[in-house]
Amino acid sequence: MKWMKNAKTYTPPDFAVIRDDERCIRCKACVEQCSFDATFYDEDLDKVWNWEAKCVGCDRCAAICPVEAITIKKRETPYRYNYSWYGHIDGLKKRAAFGGTPVVSMGNDKPYPVYWDHMLLNASQVTNPSIDPLREPMELKTFLGRKPDFVEFKKDGSLKTKLTPQIELNIPIMFSAMSYGALSYNVIESLGKAAQEVGTFYNSGEGGLNKDHYKFKGNVIVQVASGRFGVHKPYLDVGSAIEIKIGQGAKPGIGGHLPGEKVSQTISETRMMPEGSDAISPAPHHDVYSIEDLRQLIYALKEATEYTKPIIVKIAAVHNVAAIASGVVRAGADIISIDGFKGGTGASPQIVRDNIGIPIELALAVVDERLRQEGIRQQVSIIAGGGIRCSTDVVKAIALGADAVYIGTAALLAIGCTMCQQCHTGKCAWGISTQDPHLSKRVNPDIASEKLINLLNVWALEIKEVMGAMGINSIESLKGNRLNLRAVGLSEKDMEILGILPAGE
Amino acid sequence: MELSKDISGCGIAGFINTDGTLTSGIDIADSINLMKERGNGLGAGFAAYGIYPDFKEYYALHIMYDNEQSRKNTEAYLDRKLHIEQHGGMPTRIINKKRPIFFVYFVEPREQSTKAESEEFQSREADEFIVKLTMHINEKIDGAYVVSSGKNMGVFKGVGYPEEIANLFRIDEYKAYMWTAHNRFPTNTPGWWGGAHPFSLLDWSVVHNGEISSYGANKRYLEMYRYKCTQKTDTEVIAYLLDLIIRKHKFPLEKIGDIFSAPLWSEINKMQKKDKEFHTALRMVYGSALLNGPFSILVGFKGGIFGLNDRIKLRPLVAAKKGSTVYMASEESAIRYIVKDLDEVWMPDAGKPVIAKLTEEAYKNVY
């Protein structure tokens, strides 16, 4: 019997599934919906049971149950509480039982400080009127790309300076790199539709671009990662910008990992690799072992696309991020994307996700400040990502110095994700991070894209409200405007790094 | 980490005789005094152009000292760095109030400081030299502030109502072809002599009514180009932005409104291709120099003046003309009080600069 317990590999379940048998009408919807085999129906007893060890707490069954007979609850750990060992016991047992390192997904779930929540925004009173965005113009338009320090004109007043290619965003929020492979076809479709409607960009991630999605040309950023999956001329041509992925916030220092379970036939075609085999992209690019090599790759891509597209270099927020960013700018990147350690992933070893990298707030602050000190901030745009949860995080990021932000996890949450952290299994019951056709049709691109459009539009309005309160009517005037931030509950050193004053000063 | 700024409401006034006629400071003092309500006695000041015809080749440094020691330190520094043609205490009337001491120095950089081939390059180098010197004194020498540093112009400012400052500096005794004035109503920082307007660097002087909400962004943008904002007032950034964009980047002055009060995207989208390209490029490149928040400013420069509002006109500004003189002020009454029967009076559009310059002939006479 598949629900038979195996004591050799036993760890206590994380969740309890509480059923109200009086309410249950035996419709078996939950059985059908559970992709983790945690729910089954016993014909002899005419009863629905749960195998709690397999429950991941995704809440799909409870959401689908027509009679609200199911409640999922977090189970208390049965072990005697021990502060220093708590949280390590199961991991230790799993390693011993299975002989491998646990793989996890989504972002770091440890209680590290969230600096966004220690920064407060300013508002105008009296001397500068606050502005109502519903009555007055309020501008969010943003251009990403290298800018010259100044412009020159011809005698007739027209521009002599030729600007390098830029990408134009109606709102300073883009969907971050999430590959076709990690996500289902329908989710990519939804992201593309929303980006197109709102006038922003989604990022292909490292998995190439399905031919069907070439239609999103004009609203897609294509990524070139160390595995080079699905990278070819037509692919580069579809992108409005090309992103070289050096690192990812959730897993700095290692490459991508798409488990073979998710490499379906269409994924294999798109990625140009065998079906069913693990798609492992190496930790470094095998042609980038130094900054000089990165420069060559940047220019190889510029040459290949005839200098028509800005090149983004994405790096993870690590200890020495400011110096790295400076080198990246000097190597020729037009845009630099910094990914904080709370960013999500479709699969990462737990040790890496939970212990490597630094918060995006600090990384962003030091990068912006360093580039300004070196007088090269104008030459590059900065995208901040990895842990942007709400519109005020966006405002705070821009005030710290970002030009725009990437959101990944937030977008997935908007279309149904419940952060059960099972993306790497390919069994996503919400149809998001799966290639199982039966599961992935649970995302309807029309409905999901509508939700994404709503999310972006609401965030845009919220950003406008907050800007209006500050008396600012254009996003440029917020960029790097750290005077509009005040710290609460931070150390002097934290504030020095963030370049902000304490509240009250 | 110096991130504080001062915010204020205020009154401003200014005029230029485009034919180069010199007028005493009596009119401008009357004009700004009429708007006494717009200030609270915590700051006032005047900028005057064409006042030092005998020393027009030299940079006129107006320096404010907190005490004798700061004067000695500064003069030792100036001696090392510059040729001082003439110097002395600025003429003042006695007032019953504690105040800093003011000195004026007519200087030029020594030759070896500006070794260069062409004359144009030399003068550019000299300007740059004076800017750096000013930044150094303001930032590094305790108790010393360079109030103005242009040629054949000067700034007189301090804590008090405009009439008190006019009286202190005896501005009725100066003759200038152009005057600007400021009456201050600061809302948080207590009055500080250096914090009064006008703010000046080289030939630029700025009087400003309003609050620059983009100050934090403008300041950090300027710092990238080695400007140091030391005077704790948002107005300072306007003077530095002008210096950077007009003097260094050689951007045409007539179009500075397109940067400071850039047109809205909704307006740009309706423009013809050439204008659209122009404005899009400016907003991309000079986004950090956009002045956001309510303001009206009068900017004096070598041979002219311009007035500008923020792009949604949240502060008052009136312009008027009589003969060859152009007036601008926060209130029409301030203009009508000093000149009867104006030829023309108008409200400048939001974000559209009003520029008035000396005629070519007058320019030659003055400079």
Please write the tens of the pLDDT for every residue from A179-195.
999 999 999 999 999 99
Asked whether residue A53 falls in the same domain as residue A185, the answer is no
Asked whether residue A392 falls in the same domain as residue A331, the answer is yes
pLDDT at B83: 93
The shortest C-alpha distance from A143 to chain B (Å) reads 7
Half-sphere exposure of A337 (CA within 13 A, CB side): 31
Give the catalytic positions of B in this structure.
10
Q: What's the pLDDT band for A10 if we cut at 50, 70, 90?
A: confident
Please name the member of B3, B223, B248 whose beta carbon is closest to the beta carbon of A483.
B3
Please name the member of A126, A476, A483 whose beta carbon is closest to the beta carbon of B216.
A483
**Does residue B342 sit at the A interface (CB-CB below 8 Å)?**
no
Contact residues for A292 (Cβ-Cβ < 8 A; gap 6+): A331
pLDDT at B4: 46
| C-alpha dihedral sign at B29, B33, B38, B42 | positive
Q: What's the pLDDT band for B188 if we cut at 50, 70, 90?
A: low
**Total structural domains within chain A:** 2
The shortest C-alpha distance from A372 to chain B (Å) reads 5
pLDDT at A256: 85
Asked whether residue A186 falls in the same domain as residue A88, the answer is no
What is the tens place of the pLDDT at every residue in B132-150? 999 999 999 999 999 999 9
Domain presence at residue A299: yes
pLDDT at A1: 46
Q: What's the pLDDT band for B190 if we cut at 50, 70, 90?
A: low
Domain presence at residue A418: yes
B223/A147 Cβ within 8 A: no
pLDDT at A125 over 50: yes
Contact residues for B279 (Cβ-Cβ < 8 A; gap 6+): B258, B262, B263, B268, B271
Please name the member of A378, A476, A482 whose beta carbon is closest to the beta carbon of B290.
A476
Cβ–Cβ < 8 Å for A323, A315: no
Please name the member of A127, A478, A479 whose beta carbon is closest to the beta carbon of B7.
A127
Asked whether residue A223 falls in the same domain as residue A85, the answer is no
Asked whether residue A196 falls in the same domain as residue A330, the answer is yes
Please name the member of A473, A483, A500 whose beta carbon is closest to the beta carbon of B215.
A483
Q: Which of B 44-73 lie inside 8 A of A, CB atoms?
A: none
| C-alpha dihedral sign at A316, A317, A321, A322 | positive
Give the chain A residue nearest B225 (alpha carbons).
A375
Sort out which chain B residues have CB atoms less than 8 A from A153's CB and list them: 252
pLDDT at A79 over 70: yes
Mean pLDDT, to the nearest integer, of B333-337? 96
Sort out which chain A residues have CB atoms less than 8 A from B350's CB and list them: none
Domain presence at residue A487: no
Mean pLDDT, to the nearest integer, of A357-384? 97
Please name the member of B9, B252, B277 whose beta carbon is closest to the beta carbon of A127.
B9
For β-strands A167-169 and A119-121, DSSP reports them as: unpaired
What is the tens place of the pLDDT at every residue in B53-76? 999 999 999 999 999 999 999 999
A139/B281 Cβ within 8 A: no
Mean pLDDT, to the nearest integer, of A68-90? 90
What is the tens place of the pLDDT at every residue in A413-466? 999 999 999 999 999 999 999 999 999 999 999 999 999 999 999 999 999 999
Give the chain A residue nearest B275 (alpha carbons).
A158
What is the tens place of the pLDDT at every residue in B264-305? 999 999 999 999 999 999 999 999 999 998 899 999 999 999
Q: Which range marks the domain in which residue A91 is found?
A: 7-100
Asked whether residue A215 falls in the same domain as residue A128, the answer is yes
Q: Which one, of B156, B155, B137, lies nearest residue B99 by Cα? A: B156
The shortest C-alpha distance from B213 to chain A (Å) reads 6
The shortest C-alpha distance from A484 to chain B (Å) reads 8
Sort out which chain A residues have CB atoms less than 8 A from B249's CB and list them: 149-151
Asked whether residue A130 falls in the same domain as residue A19, the answer is no
Angle at B218 between CA B217 and CA B224, to 5 degrees: 95
pLDDT at B231: 67
Domain presence at residue A494: no
**Does residue B190 sit at the A interface (CB-CB below 8 Å)?**
no
User: Which one of B6, B213, B219, B221 makes the best mutation probe of the A interface by having the most chain A beta carbons within 10 Å?
Assistant: B213
Q: What's the pLDDT band for B195 if we cut at 50, 70, 90?
A: confident
The shortest C-alpha distance from A118 to chain B (Å) reads 18
Name the token pair of A323: 């110096």
Cβ–Cβ < 8 Å for B289, B241: yes
User: Which one of A141, A152, A368 makes the best mutation probe of the B interface by having the most chain B beta carbons within 10 Å?
Assistant: A141
The shortest C-alpha distance from B256 to chain A (Å) reads 13
Domain presence at residue A341: yes
Give the chain B residue nearest A164 (alpha carbons).
B281
**Residues forming a β-bridge with A202:** A220
Q: What's the pLDDT band for B191 if we cut at 50, 70, 90?
A: low
pLDDT at B146: 95
Q: What's the pLDDT band for B3 if we cut at 50, 70, 90?
A: very low
A139/B265 Cβ within 8 A: yes
Looking up residue A17, the CATH number of its domain turns out to be 3.30.70.20
Residue indicated by tokens 């629905």:
A48
Helix (H) or strand (E) holding A467: helix A445-470
- Which 3 state secondary structure label does DSSP give B342? coil
What is the tens place of the pLDDT at every residue in B81-137? 999 999 999 999 998 888 999 999 999 988 765 555 566 667 778 999 999 999 999
Domain presence at residue A1: no
Domain presence at residue A490: no
Question: What b/e readout covers B126-139, taking b as 16+ CB neighbours within 10 angstroms?
Answer: bbbbbbebbbebbe
Name the token pair of A140: 């969010």
pLDDT at B2: 43
The shortest C-alpha distance from B345 to chain A (Å) reads 27
Mean pLDDT, to the nearest integer, of A141-159? 91
How far is A129 from A135, CA to CA, in rounded Å? Answer: 13
Asked whether residue A96 falls in the same domain as residue A126, the answer is no
Q: What is the ipTM of this complex?
A: 0.90
pLDDT at A413: 98
User: Which one of B284, B288, B296, B309 makes the best mutation probe of the A interface by having the most chain A beta carbons within 10 Å?
Assistant: B284
How far is B354 from B352, CA to CA, in rounded Å? Answer: 7
pLDDT at B115: 56
Looking up residue A342, the CATH number of its domain turns out to be 3.20.20.70
Question: What b/e readout covers A389-426, taking b as 16+ CB neighbours within 10 angstroms?
Answer: eebbbbbbbbbbbbbbbbbbbbbbbbbbbbbbbbbbbb
Sort out which chain B residues have CB atoms less than 8 A from A472's CB and list them: 213-214, 292-293
Distance of CA B194 to the CA centre of its chain: 13
**Does residue B346 sit at the A interface (CB-CB below 8 Å)?**
no
pLDDT at A223: 97
Cβ–Cβ < 8 Å for B329, B307: no
Residue indicated by tokens 């580069």:
A236
Give the chain B residue nearest A135 (alpha carbons).
B312
Domain presence at residue A491: no
pLDDT at B189: 59
B281/A477 Cβ within 8 A: no
pLDDT at A379: 96
pLDDT at B116: 53
Q: Write down all domains in chain B, each with its CATH number in brackets.
A: 8-51+152-251+292-366 (3.60.20.10)
User: Which one of B184, B256, B271, B292 makes the best mutation probe of the A interface by having the most chain A beta carbons within 10 Å?
Assistant: B292
Name the token pair of A458: 């609401």
Asked whether residue A270 falls in the same domain as residue A127, the answer is yes
Distance of CA A341 to the CA centre of its chain: 11
Cβ–Cβ < 8 Å for A318, A324: yes
Q: Could you please report the per-residue DSSP string of A421-434?
A: S-GGGT--TTSSS-
Asked whether residue A272 falls in the same domain as residue A212, the answer is yes
How far is B233 from B215, CA to CA, in rounded Å? Answer: 9
Q: What's the pLDDT band for B229 if we cut at 50, 70, 90?
A: confident
Provide the mean pLDDT of chain B.
90
Asked whether residue A136 falls in the same domain as residue A38, the answer is no
Asked whether residue A90 falls in the same domain as residue A174, the answer is no
**Does residue B208 sit at the A interface (CB-CB below 8 Å)?**
no
